[in-house]
Structure 1
């Protein structure tokens, strides 16, 4: 038995970085980022997650915070590191150009899954020719009465595995 003041390493902290990254990828980003306070080893572990799931945003304050976070996270990601990119703003309106830029950036990162629920969504042309995209989920916002998508460019999603 160890005393309370003794510095003891736990089993989770001894896991390889790729396992920790996988575990953190199974949770929304806000929880993955919160693990950075656990120890020095965990401080930057959230930066290597494979799934960028930002949860569901319902208030303008949350949207403002999310905007800052998404911009910073996408800046540090490397291509092929991120598999899933999920954005959900079912009730509030985000700037169309900002969301479009995030999707562009996700395509640059060679994502394989894109999951979106955004009011007034405008998909950038780069998404329609993404060579790595295998799953595309588009959900209507609570305010969108029509579930009709008009595409202003040809759609070619060549990856089907």
Structure 2
């Protein structure tokens, strides 16, 4: 490097705006990683950045975005902001998340989901906070046939008679969901590719038994026979992570004295929640499930309160050593 009067001349390449000269797909990747308000703010960086925010492919209006609007006294503008972004984004919208803390116009929501169905949305999450009336989703939702991930909370669904399912759906998460037409069973049968199912809605084992691609399952148990549960789990050969919530479960004896010869070889992560330590049948069933997973790596158990002076009667002879990497209990 040659010094010229105490300074040096930087190469031309170093003076160029390398970020602005990046390909559109790289810029999109960068913008998608920013909070949406910061991504839009990049329009003030330079003249050639003015419309870069229109390259966004992920629109996330979550709790953090809503609280940002609250701090700036703009929470009433949420609907107009979403309208503007959806209308001006140039390409496909891969991900759309909406957290509703206030009421939004039903017509706007219907238009947004219709537009998303035409924009090829693959990851959709909508949750309505609070305990007021559920959000009734428009039938346009069932036209989003490219969906791979769907998460809905506190919503009401009305699948049309023409709905034949989400053929590409891999992950489904449902909380506080009500169906006006069909039912949850019919909805699940329309999702043959499901690999992840998380639900706080009431599920029956027979509904899930046909979803042979399930790898991650989290569900609430209701009335369940021990033998039925073992056969149900045996019908899911790819299951790797399982969470069972016993809060509302009423287990029947169902041959609890018989040893189940089934082993769930693929199960690596097991979470058992809200187990009643007063219920000997529930405990026996839980222990048998644990010992039927010889390749189990992580085990987490949470229990209900119980009276230490009244220990449950359980056959502990069914237990044998487990080679676990992690254990958690509460």
Give the TM-score category using the shorter length. Answer: 0.7 to 0.9
Distance 1:111 1:159 in 2: 17
Cα deviation, residue 40, structure 1: 1.4
Aligned CA RMSD, in angstroms, stands at 3.1
Partner residue, 1:5: none
Whether 1:152 and 2:159 are equivalent positions in the alignment is no
TM-score (norm 2): 0.40
- Greater Rg by CA: 2
Residues 7-44 of structure 1, C-alpha deviation per residue, up to 9 Å, x if partnerless? Answer: x4443223222101111012222111001111112111
Residues 29-84 of structure 1, C-alpha deviation per residue, up to 9 Å, x if partnerless? Answer: 2111001111112111110111111232254x5343221121122223356x1100
- Residues 127, 94 of structure 1: alpha-carbon distance in 2 compared, 3 angstrom cutoff: same
- Residues 101, 158 of structure 1: alpha-carbon distance in 2 compared, 3 angstrom cutoff: farther
Unaligned segments of structure 1, at least 5 residues: 3-7
Cα deviation, residue 157, structure 1: 5.6
Partner residue, 1:68: 80
Distance 2:99 2:86 in 1: 16
Unaligned segments of structure 2, at least 5 residues: 1-7, 10-14, 156-174, 196-330
Partner residue, 1:32: 39
Distance 1:75 1:46 in 2: 12
Match of 1:96 among 106, 116, 123: 106
Match of 2:50 among 33, 43, 60: 43
- Residues 41, 95 of structure 1: alpha-carbon distance in 2 compared, 3 angstrom cutoff: same
- Residues 42, 127 of structure 1: alpha-carbon distance in 2 compared, 3 angstrom cutoff: same
**Secondary structure of 1:88 counterpart:** strand
Distance 2:115 2:59 in 1: 12
- Residues 160, 44 of structure 1: alpha-carbon distance in 2 compared, 3 angstrom cutoff: farther
**Which of the pair has the greater relative contact order for Cα pairs under 8 Å at 6+ separation?**
1
Q: Count residues in correspondence.
A: 151
Q: Is the 8 A contact 2:125 2:150 kept in 1?
A: yes
| Larger relative strand fraction | 2
- Residues 38, 150 of structure 1: alpha-carbon distance in 2 compared, 3 angstrom cutoff: same
Partner residue, 1:77: 89
Q: Is the 8 A contact 1:51 1:82 kept in 2?
A: yes
Distance 1:46 1:149 in 2: 36
Partner residue, 1:87: 98
